[in-house]
Amino acid sequence: MHNRQITNRHRFIGFALIALVVYILSNIVDEWRSYQGATVAVYVVAIASVILLTGYSGQISLGHGALLAVGAYSAALTQIYLHAPVWICFVIAVLTTALFGAILGTAAARLSGPYLAGTTLALAVGLPSIANQFSIFGGEQGISFDAGWPPLSFGENFTQYKWFFWIGSLAALIAMWWVQNILRSRYGRSWRAVKSNEVAAELAGINIGRSKVLAFTISSGIAGLAGALLAMTMNNVSPSAFPLALSFSIATGAILSGVNTLGGVMIGSVALVAIPEIASSIADRWSGSENLATLLPEFIVSALLILTVFLAPKGPIEKLRSRHSK
């Protein structure tokens, strides 16, 4: 009990230091970096939802972008029809997407491996097309989602992108704190047991189906929050904002982070935001070719994935931990 209190205290101090760093950065970076910071926060939440589902529960999802879309549309529709504050929109996005995930998880509980991955992939492909069929979703133009301007008390120099950065960072910190707590609870232990050996877990009294559905539900709720944050940064929700490539990017970020641990989630998030800019800079310096600028990000991501799989299959953080433990 005493060790757990010490661990919780260390974790709290760690989160407080991260919050302090974010606060300092928000006051020294320009508008573009503030926007990138908000985007990093979106990816942190999205990747955490994949790590919870795949790394701890063992369920593979290649269509998490569809869950982000559910959260984004839920937040936007809540604001349009209920005129709710932005934080209420975020809560509704989490609850609606969690309910959607519970229904999907119940249907997918009997599936595993490539079958489950294929089901979620089909969802990511089909959901944007479905959104186009209903006028309530705004068609290709989409619907607006306005997080509003920062309070006047923050001063005239406090920009909207800086406001997005603050909201996104706070939401990411809360989500990560909550996810870490649940992964250290009996639910997290049950998920790890089911992932390791379903037969042994069932003999230990764990309800396999219920455990998988719960993991899918919680993961979906977290993904819904990421979708609402993404809608905030774009001020709009449309089918084109949630292509299949988004699902693949989130899965890629999870692999780069280390799908078995939350510790490296920032690595994958920063990589996803930084790689396109790095590729554009390299392309401009070498030849200025648009084709090179288009292909280079994919090449860099592929190279990083290969290096991660061969050099640190459990992620960079776990690699460092294993070195220190020797």
- Please indicate, yes or no, whether the overall pTM of this predicted structure exceeds 0.95: no
Q: Alpha-carbon distance 303 to 209, whole Å? A: 37
pLDDT digits (tens, 9 = 90+) for 208-236: 889 989 999 999 999 999 999 999 999 98
Q: Alpha-carbon distance 307 to 300, whole Å? A: 11
**144 three-class SS:** strand
Nearest to 92 by CA among 103, 106, 102, 79: 79
Query: Which residues face 236 on adjacent strands?
Result: 144
User: What is the model's pLDDT at position 2?
Assistant: 46
pLDDT digits (tens, 9 = 90+) for 41-77: 999 999 999 999 988 888 888 889 999 999 999 999 9
Question: What average pLDDT does the chain have?
Answer: 84
- Tokens 């200025």 belong to which residue? 288
pLDDT digits (tens, 9 = 90+) for 230-280: 999 999 899 888 988 888 889 888 888 888 888 788 888 988 898 888 877
In angstroms, the Cα distances linking 177 to 16, 182, 211, 239 are: 11, 9, 21, 31
pLDDT digits (tens, 9 = 90+) for 93-140: 999 999 999 988 887 777 666 777 788 888 888 887 787 778 888 888
Domain boundaries, the chain: 2-247
Q: Alpha-carbon distance 153 to 16, whole Å? A: 24
Residue by residue, DSSP assigns 223-236 as: HHHHHHHHHHHHTE
